[in-house]
Amino acid sequence: MNLQYPDCHSLDQLPWFEHNSEGRLVLSDPAAVGSIIDFHAHLGFALFFSPPLDLTRDTGETLTNFPMSGVPVDLSLESGLNLETHKPGHVVRQYMRSMVTNRGDHATHTVPNLLRDMADMNVEQSIVMAIDFPMGAQNSGAYLRAMHGQPALTPYIAINPLKPGWEARMDRLVAAGARGLKIHPYSEFMTSDHPLIIRMLRRWARTGLPVQFHTAFNAIAPGFLQILARMETYEKALRTFPDITFILGHAGMDFFEKAMDYANTYPNVYLEIDGQPPANLARIFDAVDHSRILFGSDWPFFPLALPLAKVLIATDGDRALRHKVLYSNASALLAQFGGARTPAGQSC
């Protein structure tokens, strides 16, 4: 099957996609693919000095970091590497813009736009993850407020242990409806085996809720970020907290084999596979318990169709595996830990 296309719109050449009357890329036969749960999404980030984003605004179109047009698609590559190869520095420029303004692509990364994009791809539920730095705007509370009353969206918060008062903030956000914790070494400015992260996880363990790590990096990530996200830095947490369910976001990117080792060593570890190309997915499917593999998109960094196309190719001819990866594994986790609800009257 062809893995190279002129752009994301050209994915309609695959048997699972078409364009609707509005020119949007959609599933051609949603019933044949089945319902989907996306275990890795975000909303727009307001970072450092940026004014707040209006996360409830319908802008009519989502401007994903990997554009629908203008960037060649190579499904044989990890998605971030694909983007950086053809549009170097684009994501960094987007991040820099989000530090000072609430205008630009990230202003389209809103709840209504996410829900519309989900409907296009038959996504029933998205797990939406905040990222917070120790200073400036805090996205976790904004996400909870924006997602209030949206049962199709499940909020995972971020807690930065460099920010004073993080313990009380954790308790407040969990009481306000958080259903999981996102840990991202780039925003915490420390590795995931740092004593402050271990201390934070010890407190988080009281909640009984899962943790999703950002893991690893691709071949073109800056060196200082590679230091923060080395795969060996996650094992201490996995080993120390056997009662916490850990989800390894991106399944270790280029270091997916180490992520596979962790999943096979620790029964509390799941792999979330966004960005992984079909060849890597085939190796993961061969080696890892199928019940601990989760689909994710990393929307709005990538349009939903891009990671979905990779999974559909890798599971072609195996409907049972496809259903587990796209839906039933995530559904079981959501049933275990509860869905998205912000209790009435709770402040976040």
Under 8 Å CB-to-CB from 263, ≥6 apart: which residues? 248, 269, 270, 271, 288, 289, 292
pLDDT of residue 329: 98
Pick left, alpha or beta for residue 135 (phi over 0 → left; psi -120 to 50 → alpha; otherwise beta).
beta
* pLDDT mean over 294-311: 98
Whether residue 342 is predicted with pLDDT greater than 70 in this model: the reply is no
pLDDT of residue 322: 98
Tens digit of each residue's pLDDT (9 = 90 or more) over 28-67: 999 999 999 999 999 998 877 788 899 999 999 999 999 9
Whether residue 181 is predicted with pLDDT greater than 80 in this model: the reply is yes
Strands 293-294 and 123-129: unpaired
pTM for the predicted model, two decimal places: 0.95
Residue 37's beta-bridge partner residues? 125
CATH class of 4-337: alpha beta
Whether residue 249 is predicted with pLDDT greater than 80 in this model: the reply is yes
Domain boundaries defined on the chain: 4-337
